[in-house]
Structure 1
Amino acid sequence: MTDTRPKRGGREERLAKRAAKPVFDPCPPGQRGGAYRPLSEAELARIFDTALDLLARLGMGEVPERLSRDLLAAGATRGEGARICLPRTLVQEAIQGAAKQFTLHGRDPARSITVGGDRVFFGTGGAAVQTLDMDSGRYRPSTLVDLHDFTRLQDVLANVAWFTRCCVATDVPDNFDLDVNTVHALISHTTKPVATSFTLAEHVAPIVDMLDIAAGGPGQFSERPFVKAHISPVISPLRFGEDAVDVVYECIRHNIPMSCITAAQAGATAPATMAGFLAQSLAETLASLVMVHAIQPGFPMVFSNWPLVIDLRTGAFSGGGGETALLNAASAQLSNWLGLPSGVAASMTDAKAIDAQYGVEKGMTSLAAALAGGNLIYESSGMTAALLGVSFEGFVLDDEMHSMSYRTLRGIEVSDETLGFDAICGAVLGEGHFLGEAQTHAAMERDYFYPRLADRVEPRSWAEAGAADAWTRAKTRAREILDSHHPEYLSAEQQAAIRARFNILMP
């Protein structure tokens, strides 16, 4: 009998095809989440009801005078002492009027993402003061050069959907120079949506001038903002921070979308009980939403309720563990239940090395947040040492991990084609296996993710190839990118204009 099946190519051709980017990406960013629901409908309602009670009866303390006037004009009331209470009707009005979906623009429109609904995106955050040095394998103070290098590195990582500065340049002592040089690094080396923090409100306007240069002229940035601000206007428990509130006003004035971040810590600045923690943290993030509503209703704000955990034995912040996974998943569920664009934090491992602890804590917390439907999952790339450290190797390992999470979210497509009744019959009555069949080849490209760093060879081949561990393979990959990828997304004229105006410290 003549074999009419198509001949398979040679081994080298197959290997080259597998190494190249697939024609169909089986696990792109933006998969749908929400299947994991740690809270029942009744539990969601009770937590929300308690949060409303806290805001209406206890209210917020240390409210800056300008914000106090705006809140009272919007319907808030004066409570005991100098506290401002937020009635249920005002909170519900803020939820109803909030921006439910909006675009985080990239300078390259193809890299923009839509926040809200049930789409999940991994991105970065953090303010690591230490960087895991690739040469020594030890931590050292983070520098401005590191920030430029991390920005270059993540520019090629498909699963970093937006980039927030992941480390603080500890070699830049002046706060204004730090804010300016941080944003300069972001816009020089990536066209993804980016995010930063502003130390003081008076830093916003001059940095917007720099962003206008990058955008093409005066007023252009505000027309299509490609930078969002990370701000923590609420200090747990239940009070405002004046400097951060001032930054909020300036960001709204310049049309900079915001992630208003609540970062309470269980057992320290919030209750140790998980239900109580979620109620307080939800109330605090709702207070940020009411603040934005009172200033400009419907202004784009990511509802960034980040439950953080401390080790109650020592008081040290703990970024990994089951409690972190559970609380951030519950936070995402609560935010989505309210119809608000959700932001949570995951992958904040306590591990210092790229080791088993690193993998367990990152994989568990990031997958839980994704399955629960967190729209933006912060801290999800490169962070180590409970957010004190950041790693180049970690960035490339986490990028691969996110592909696996996205593949999990994508789920299983059930159709006549994928059920394959005829293919099963043909294999059973024919050669007894599915190797080489057209359906198998189609599924191979469509349904399976093939990792670049994870090792799948048998032990002898692994040993003969040098017995490299994941840390070693990731280090090699990170160096390949840093040695070859030197993007410059500002023109010479734009760089000259920025350097003429600001103290840019990178040569």
Structure 2
Amino acid sequence: MDTQRSKRGGRKSRLAQRAAKPVIDPCPPGQIGGAYKPLTEGELSQIFDTTLALLAKLGLGEVPDRLRKDLLAVGAEEASNGRVLFPPALVEAAIDQAAKTFVLHGRDPARSVEVGGNKVYFGTGGAAVQALDIDTQAYRPSTLQDLHDFTRLQDTLANVSWFTRCCIATDVEDIYDLDINTAYALIKNTTKPTATAFTLAEHVAPIVEMFDIAAGGPGEFAKRPFVKAHISPIISPMRYGEDAVDVVYECIKHNVPMSCITAAQAGATAPAPLAGFLAQSLAETLASLVMVHAIQPGFPMIFSNWPFVIDLRTGAFAGGSGETAVLNAASAQLSNWLGLPSGVASSMTDAKAIDAQYGAEKGLTSMAAALAGGNLIYESSGMTSSLLGASFEGFVLDDEMHSNTYRALRGIEVSEDSLGFDAICEAVLGEGHFLGGQQTLEAMERDYFYPDLADRNDPKAWTDAGSVDAWTRAREKAKTILAEHHPAYLTPEQDAEIRARFNILSA
């Protein structure tokens, strides 16, 4: 009887332990990538040499006058056709003096992220114009309320390390009001590092004033900037975009860190052969870096080389393809090889529903980018329909997927203790199994991730429980979060000051 009671008591204790939050998180963000290397050392050099040749002999076109003057001052050369050429020495100087690591600040310092090296963090990007309605499961135009809801939903998700607005508030027509209200949604609903876009350069200064209010007063944001800018200053193929360049100048003036994003499309705005694509795309992203170097050497910039792929039969975007997976992995490898903080894109599924295509494409592309050591992996949460859509359920499902990816990146710790020679002998000569053994109990939380949404029951148990699929479970979890999580990250006084200064359109 004593033995029976002991066994029942031990089982009850183990069940309680399983239900409790893990003492040690087996798969936190910031795991080390870099094991997947789609390019050899020789291939990296070949691509880089071609890139240097493109910059030196072809250069960039449509260079705004102010930038042209600054580029020529640091060693660029003007061609007879008006293009600006970048000698290899200038490009190498920009790489050498670039910020190699820096902190993406959260308003909550505990949520800050250091970028650089081979640390991997998943986050968001995107400018979806549709939301997958959580009630009807149908697509509709995305709204400002959606942006607020997406922001507070992701605020609870551990694997979204920073949040960029994932959708456009299509119900806000004025572009200034759009930029203002997008920024407001970020600072109202999360204290993670965030990112936004500025449609025009003149929007930067007033929005920084808003950030100052949230930071505690004039000039406070610049001391510890908790929002970075997403800017695409290069228009493929190989020319600058004047409005975006103007935004770069303003962001540097106000100490807003930047992700300078190249988003060429293979076979359309860049070569269809993957090697040629990488050479041109790298050249364009380096042109952004040289631009920043000419304005303020070493200013914090995420080297965001995002290879995009289209279906060459139809011209449709192919964000979930194997080509997208290998190109973004190669981009991360190239950026890390140069020692630059890398930004790539993944999880850009072309699926419209939360289905098998969704899971396969997201798993393939996000794992490849992570294994290659992409520092910041954009678009990785919630995006659907070739970046045209964003899904609340998708955010929740992707968060669980990222835990599994981080667990894979963590790898296997090999030591005398983990090899467990004595534990193997004890089990073989004793109970004949490892269930309930001390080593098993210790490894249970330390080494294993237990999903909340993925179902591991047998078919009968799953059927008896209502045959609920992952989409339904994710929807219910998202609804619960949205019903319960209403953060107050602005004080009433800060909110009132912002509303008095700006046209805030949401409650």
**TM-score per shorter chain, which class?**
over 0.9
- Gaps of at least 5 residues in structure 1 are none
Residue 400 of structure 1 corresponds to 400
Q: How big is each residue's C-alpha offset from its partner over 1:78-126, in whole Å with a ceiling of 9 and x where there is no partner?
A: 1131100000000000000000000000000000000001100000000
Structure 2 CA distance, aligned partners of 1:476 and 1:4? 40
- Structure 2: which amino acid aligns with 1:132? L
Residue 470 of structure 2 corresponds to 470
- Structure 2: which amino acid aligns with 1:125? G
Structure 1 CA distance, aligned partners of 2:18 and 2:115? 32
Secondary structure at the counterpart of residue 140 of structure 1? strand
- Gaps of at least 5 residues in structure 2 are none
Alignment of 1:78-477 (within 5 A): 78-477=78-477
From the superposition, tell whether residues 161 and 224 of structure 1 become closer, same or farther in structure 2 (CA, over 3 Å): same
Deviation at 1:425, TM superposition (A): 0.7
Displaced runs of 4 or more, over 2 A: 1-21
TM-score by length of 1: 0.98
Deviation at 1:452, TM superposition (A): 0.3
Secondary structure at the counterpart of residue 413 of structure 1? coil
Deviation at 1:4, TM superposition (A): 13
Deviation at 1:13, TM superposition (A): 5.7
Structure 1 CA distance, aligned partners of 2:412 and 2:177? 50
Q: How big is each residue's C-alpha offset from its partner over 1:10-30, in whole Å with a ceiling of 9 and x where there is no partner?
A: 766644543442110000000
Residue 32 of structure 2 corresponds to 32
From the superposition, tell whether residues 465 and 293 of structure 1 become closer, same or farther in structure 2 (CA, over 3 Å): same
Structure 2 CA distance, aligned partners of 1:366 and 1:277? 20
Secondary structure at the counterpart of residue 431 of structure 2? coil
Secondary structure at the counterpart of residue 69 of structure 1? helix
Secondary structure at the counterpart of residue 228 of structure 1? strand
Q: How big is each residue's C-alpha offset from its partner over 1:198-239, in whole Å with a ceiling of 9 and x where there is no partner?
A: 000000000000000000000000000000000000000000
Secondary structure at the counterpart of residue 56 of structure 1? helix
**Count of matched residue positions in the alignment of Structure 1 and Structure 2:** 507
- Structure 1: which amino acid aligns with 2:427? A
- Structure 1: which amino acid aligns with 2:97? G
Secondary structure at the counterpart of residue 103 of structure 2? strand
Secondary structure at the counterpart of residue 230 of structure 1? strand
Q: How big is each residue's C-alpha offset from its partner over 1:382-436, in whole Å with a ceiling of 9 and x where there is no partner?
A: 0000000000000000000000000000000000110000001111111111011
Structure 1 CA distance, aligned partners of 2:390 and 2:20? 29
Structure 2 CA distance, aligned partners of 1:196 and 1:10? 52
Structure 2 CA distance, aligned partners of 1:98 and 1:193? 21
Deviation at 1:316, TM superposition (A): 1.1
Q: How big is each residue's C-alpha offset from its partner over 1:331-380, in whole Å with a ceiling of 9 and x where there is no partner?
A: 00000000000000000000000000000000000000000000000000
* RMSD (Å) for aligned C-alpha atoms: 1.5
Q: How big is each residue's C-alpha offset from its partner over 1:25-80, in whole Å with a ceiling of 9 and x where there is no partner?
A: 00000000000000000000000000000000000000000000000000000113
- Structure 2: which amino acid aligns with 1:120? V
Residue 65 of structure 1 corresponds to 65
- Structure 2: which amino acid aligns with 1:155? D
From the superposition, tell whether residues 9 and 248 of structure 1 become closer, same or farther in structure 2 (CA, over 3 Å): farther
Structure 2 CA distance, aligned partners of 1:5 and 1:62? 81
From the superposition, tell whether residues 432 and 496 of structure 1 become closer, same or farther in structure 2 (CA, over 3 Å): same
From the superposition, tell whether residues 4 and 53 of structure 1 become closer, same or farther in structure 2 (CA, over 3 Å): farther
Structure 2 CA distance, aligned partners of 1:213 and 1:163? 20
Structure 2 CA distance, aligned partners of 1:198 and 1:6? 65
Structure 1 CA distance, aligned partners of 2:74 and 2:19? 58
